[in-house]
Amino acid sequence: MSELAFKSATALAAMIQAKEISAQELLEHYLDRVERYNPALNAIIVHDAERARVRAREADEALARGEVWGPLHGVPMTIKESYNVAGLPTTNGRPDMKDNIADSDALAVQRLKAAGVVLFGKTNVPINLADFQSYNEVYGTTNSPWDLKRIPGGSSGGSAAALAAGLCGFESGSDIGGSIRNPAHFSGVFGHKPTWGLIPPRGHALPGYLVQPDLSVVGPLGRSASDLEAGVLAMAGPDELDGVGLTLNLPQPAKSSLGDYKVAVWTNDAVAPVSQEVQDRVAAVAKTIADAGGTADFDARPDFDPADAHDIYQTLLWSAMAARTPDKDFAELVKAASELDPNNQSPGASLLRTQTITHHDHYTAHNKRMHLRWAWDAFFKDYDALIAPIMSIPAFEHNHEPMGKRTVTIDGAERPYFEQVFWAGLAVCCYLPSTVIPTGPNADGLPIGVQIIGRQYGDLETIGLAKLLEKAGYAFTPPAGYED
């Protein structure tokens, strides 16, 4: 891949430090591409070019003095709209928050700037970060660079679309139900959902919220696995409160070749059926490892029932998502739940009850989650990683119907829209890291990604396996029509 715009962030940083290109030149290159290609995509929805130009000039001046700010010195990046950036709006796609201007940077933004990035804009999200699609009344709809009629994913959809189209050098999103990983899959880029708590989320929130939400994490997207590693290392580590007594010491990958790995492979499940073409990509990754001399076990599973695990995850997920609801709206949910007929066991009624569960019921679900976490711990004593789908199908066409009316078609069968969060929830529910790698486009020209799940705090291990698979051919492929 020779085109400048599609190089990895780490490659771009190396070029800047070698003075093959200046930070200012690289920024202008991306700004020019944004002007040409973003109108059709609507991926970057908040622009901050003038401050970025000042920052890029300062990066070049620092380099001329022999100063390197960090591993991403001078790399132009955009970031998901839900991160606070001083002077820019944070709305989470909510019309009632369209005038909310952040007065300080999120901690992750501070750390990325310390690593040297040049931040020049923010990327689109769904309302309340709660959809596989990225559209809202504030900023409109983001389209896939692979097919404008289709979705780039959500909720970090603008992030993935901007990367895939070569509109920025690096990105960072967030994930509670696959919101980093499904856009990576749908858009053909790399994404990493970190271990819960590894990257403090302070400032990835609307005004007044400081508590770290259950399940939710922030983490990087990029055009290479090395970009994910650079992003994790830049953003990770305890904040000022926890840093008094805690330090970061992530285990490094202990294996240097694919032939050293023993992986489990989970291609399909009745809880959330997977299309044959996605199953085939998971199997292909496993075959690559096996062909290199490694072990790929298609029967190994953690010691729990998948349906039970999914129920636990959904209980924790929907109650966590409901916590984002404005007080007035949440009061209406509570009222509606109290008026439900006890015999009403419809999906809508079940969701409403879950959104408004008591602390006692949440604690019970949390306790069940702890049993799952110990089951995963035992599993990863025998296996280095689990290879699995992250979504059941490639990118589908935009569908803005009410949530309850949406379905997805999997090999000719209509399935519930949110059923696919099962695959995201395997890692999310139990705080595990998960790295998505691209496997290339299908016959229709649509990307397919595969996730690598690892043990808690094994973030550099799953990324390390991704780096080896990238060398074996699972690399970023740019979509057609976005050439320089």
Half-sphere exposure of 458 (CA within 13 A, CB side): 25
Q: Which residues are catalytic?
A: 80, 155, 179
3-state helix, strand, coil in the chain (%, to 5): 40, 15, 45
- Predicted confidence band of residue 326 (pLDDT cuts 50, 70, 90): confident
Calculate helix-pair angle for 276-291, 459-471, nearest 10 degrees. 90
Q: 105: Cβ–Cβ under 8 A, 6 or more apart, which residues?
A: 84, 85, 86, 113, 203
Q: Where are the domains of the chain?
A: 4-260+457-471, 306-375
How long, in residues, is the chain? 484
How far apart, in whole angstroms, are the C-alpha atoms of residue 76 and residue 162? 12
DSSP label of 212: P
Percent of the chain with pLDDT over 90: 98
Is 2 a residue whose pLDDT tops 70? no
What mean pLDDT comes out for the span 147-166?
A: 98
- Predicted confidence band of residue 347 (pLDDT cuts 50, 70, 90): confident
How far apart, in whole angstroms, are the C-alpha atoms of residue 206 and residue 97? 9
What mean pLDDT comes out for the span 77-81?
A: 99
Q: Give pLDDT, residue 122.
A: 99
Among residues 188, 184, 162, 191, which one has the least CA distance to residue 42? 162
- The CATH number that domain 4-260+457-471 falls under is 3.90.1300.10
Is 247 a residue whose pLDDT tops 90? yes
How far apart, in whole angstroms, are the C-alpha atoms of residue 97 and residue 82? 11
Q: Higher pLDDT residue, 38 or 404?
A: 38
Using a cut of 0.95, tell me whether the model's pTM lies above it. Answer: yes
Q: Which two tokens stand for residue 103?
A: 């007065």
- Predicted confidence band of residue 1 (pLDDT cuts 50, 70, 90): very low
